[in-house]
Amino acid sequence: MAATRTPPPVRSKGVGGVRPRQASPQALAIGGGIAVVVVIAIVLAVVLGGGSKSSNLKGLPGTGTCTWTGALDGACDANNLFKGIPQQGLVLGRPSAPVEMEMFIDVQCPICQRYEVESLPTIVNKYIKTGKVQLHMQPWAFIGGAGSQSFSGRLGLIAATFQNKGFEYAKVLYDNQGPEDSGWLTSDEMALIASSVNGLNMAKWSQAVNGSSAKTIASTVDKLATQKSVSGTPTVFIGPASGKLHDIMPPGYAPTLQITEQALDKALSNA
């Protein structure tokens, strides 16, 4: 089977050229002087750009809807994908599903965007909507380092999960994702994404973005990623519900739809 399998993607183009799926060892080893400059730049970007500060909701609907004039592209399709599927926080699918799929993502990651757009709809319709698989989403952050929009931007996604709308929010975000580390995921853009999610109470969402609960969940995901030795995004673990899950790819490789389906089918056959 391995001999005929299409090689999975390893790299994707982002700001500054080609970025591997996992964090670059050179980037992690930057000298002290350069690191100071980077930290200063990040702080200025957060202060001047708004970071995860509360956005101005003026001009946005009080309750999100994919049909308002300012809704983002593909918003209705994103909402319809998850219609009728049980959703509780960061978990999508029936509690009785015999197989669990855990997905670590970064909101700025271009390969996550490809997986979300090209692979996830098939997985949702074939496995999750039918009650076979339950999906656990883990919004991790490593692109750009602490203070980047990977860290502030995921709080918008987490805030949407408090109203059980996190998967819709993530899909709208990835359908409209900007270039990696380009500063596109501002607080206003986060609010525009939220306003494109059907039924999302905007005032409650805005309050939750900067609340302690969202930050606690973000911290928990970080610790889980460390515990599981996650080195990049997207990373997918699959296994029996309430059992041991296994990374379906070797380090440095991003999952494909074909390999994900093979792993899900194998887990289901053993369930």
CATH of 23-270, one of 1.10.10.10, 3.30.70.890, 3.40.30.10, 3.40.50.300: 3.40.30.10
pLDDT of residue 8: 54
Q: What percent of the chain has pLDDT over 70?
A: 80
Q: Which residues of 212-250 are buried (b: 16+ CB within 10 A; e: fewer)?
A: eebeebbeebbeebeeeebbbbbbbbbbebeeebebbbe
pLDDT at 72: 98
Which phi-psi region, left, alpha or beta, contains residue 93 (left: φ > 0; alpha: ψ -120 to 50)?
Answer: left
| Tokens 């990049």, located at residue | 232
Mean per-residue pLDDT of the chain: 85
The pTM (predicted TM-score) of the whole model is 0.82
Radius of gyration, alpha carbons of the chain: 18
- pLDDT tens digits for range 85-105: 999 999 999 999 999 999 999
Pairing of strands 133-139, 99-105: parallel
What is the per-residue pLDDT for 56?
A: 76
Mean pLDDT, residues 28-53 taken together: 38
Task: Give pLDDT tens digits for 190-238.
Answer: 999 999 999 999 999 999 998 999 999 999 999 999 999 999 999 999 9
Per-residue pLDDT tens digits for 237-260: 999 998 999 999 998 899 999 999
* Domain residue limits, the chain: 23-270
- Distance, CA of 94 to CA of 264 (rounded, Å): 16
pLDDT of amino acid 95: 97
Confidence tier at 55 by pLDDT (50, 70, 90) = low
Nearest by Cα to 78 from 203, 158, 170: 170
pLDDT at 26 over 50: no
- In the predicted structure, residue 70 carries a pLDDT above the cut 70: yes
Q: What is the pLDDT of residues 2-11, one digit of tens each?
A: 344 444 554 2
Cis, bond preceding 234 (omega within 30 deg of 0): yes
pLDDT exceeds cutoff 70 at 20: no
Q: Which residue has the tokens 């080893």?
A: 29
The single residue listed with the structure tokens 């673990």 is 237
